[in-house]
């Protein structure tokens, strides 16, 4: 009877006392839960030795830095799980020089405290999200397979072309590279009309990430039009100048010819006047002599 009562007391105590794992789970911080969620999905080979014996042990894990018990820096090598996007106080995210693939999540824009985002030398593809964190100072997505126009935001506009280099299919105003315009559907073949346009692909990739598709279209390139206009303007100006010079030359030559004609006429007149006077005098004298002879007779 006493033995049966002892077993009953032990069973009741075991049922009333929560397990160590449950107590640990209750005491975990949200940042620790996110890190453990990342480990369960990304570290399949169990290379990250994340053990939790105390409440804030996760701040001592490899690649993790905390300030006042919250994760502010996380550096790792591996895939890009969505659990990182739950670290809303994250300041530095360095995923450079890995073999990460897929799209850059649009939800990165929600990490508004990011001051450094390094995603270079990976295999990310798709479009670049419209990142616009006001505290973002260091940014690099070079050496990936990103495509399409770069969103023109006040934050992304601060960085030079080196932050976007080695992405052959990136274009836009920020890197001074015109985006290729798609052909008009009136000139496309029926088979090409069924192809997905880059704009539709961009919107679909944004929706696949769970966010709103933001499509930023760069203005059409006007360099060719400007060059053609400049050439035409130059040609018109040169032709007008040539015509003006010809008109001036003809006017001057005509004036010279008129002056020469006038001079010749005046010279002739001056030369003929003395001869006429001499002839008039001679004829007058002859008439007088004739009259005198007649009177004598």
pLDDT of 11 reads 45
Sign of CA dihedral 219, 223, 224, 225: positive
pLDDT of 15 reads 44
Residue 281's pLDDT band (cuts 50, 70, 90): confident
Give, in order, the Cα–Cα distances in Å from 220 to each of 151, 211, 224, 225.
15, 27, 11, 11
For 221-225, which contacts have Cβ atoms below 8 Å and span 24 or more sequence positions?
221/178, 223/178
Structural domain contains residue 289: no
Task: Over range 50-69, report the average pLDDT.
Answer: 78
Structural domain contains residue 190: yes
Q: The domain containing residue 163 runs over which residues?
A: 17-223
253-264 confidence digits (pLDDT tens): 888 888 888 887
How many independent structural domains does the chain possess? 1
The C-alpha atoms of residue 3 and residue 149 are separated, in whole angstroms, by 78
Calculate the average pLDDT of the chain: 75
pLDDT of 180 reads 85
Structural domain contains residue 176: yes
Task: Over range 184-196, report the average pLDDT.
Answer: 46
More confident residue, 211 or 103: 103
pLDDT at 195 > cutoff 80: no
Structural domain contains residue 138: yes
191 CB-near residues (< 8 Å, 6+ apart)? none
Pick from 142, 164, 149: which is nearest to 205 by CA? 149
Asked if 173 and 164 touch (Cβ cutoff 8 Å), the reply is no
Q: Which two tokens stand for residue 203?
A: 């919107």
Provide, rounded to the nearest whole percent, the portion of the chain with pLDDT above 70: 67
Structural domain contains residue 244: no
Task: Over range 227-232, report the average pLDDT.
Answer: 85
Structural domain contains residue 234: no
Asked if 130 and 154 touch (Cβ cutoff 8 Å), the reply is no
CATH number at residue 136: 3.80.10.10
pTM of the complete model: 0.44
pLDDT at 25 > cutoff 70: no
Structural domain contains residue 115: yes
Residue 68's pLDDT band (cuts 50, 70, 90): confident
Structural domain contains residue 275: no
């Amino acid at each position: 009877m006493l033995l049966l009562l002892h077993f009953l007391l032990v069973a009741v105590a075991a049922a009333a006392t929560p397990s160590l794992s449950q107590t640990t789970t209750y005491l975990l911080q949200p940042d620790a839960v996110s890190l453990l969620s990342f480990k369960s999905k990304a570290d399949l080979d169990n290379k990250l030795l994340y053990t939790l014996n105390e409440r804030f042990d996760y701040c001592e894990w490899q690649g993790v830095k905390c300030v006042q018990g919250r994760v502010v820096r996380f550096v790792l090598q591996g895939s890009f799980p969505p659990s990182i996007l739950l670290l809303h106080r994250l300041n530095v995210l360095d995923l450079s020089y890995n073999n990460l693939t897929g799209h850059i999540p649009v939800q990165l824009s929600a990490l508004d405290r990011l001051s450094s985002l390094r995603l270079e030398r990976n295999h990310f593809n798709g479009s670049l999200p419209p990142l616009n964190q006001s505290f973002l100072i260091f940014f690099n997505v070079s050496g990936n397979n990103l495509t399409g126009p770069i969103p023109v935001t006040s934050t992304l506009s601060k960085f030079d072309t080196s932050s976007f280099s080695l992405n052959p299919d990136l274009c836009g105003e920020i890197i001074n590279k015109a985006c290729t315009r798609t052909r008009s559907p009136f000139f496309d073949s029926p088979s090409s009309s069924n192809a997905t346009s880059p704009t539709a692909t961009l919107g679909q990739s944004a929706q696949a990430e769970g966010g709103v598709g933001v499509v930023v279209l760069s203005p059409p390139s006007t360099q060719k039009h400007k060059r053609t206009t400049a050439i035409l303007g130059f040609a018109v100006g040169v032709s007008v100048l040539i015509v003006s010079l010809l008109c001036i030359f003809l006017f001057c030559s005509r004036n010279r010819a008129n002056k020469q004609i006038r001079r010749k006429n005046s010279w002739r007149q001056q030369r003929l006047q003395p001869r006429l006077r001499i002839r008039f005098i001679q004829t007058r004298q002859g008439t007088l002599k004739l009259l005198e002879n007649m009177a004598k007779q």
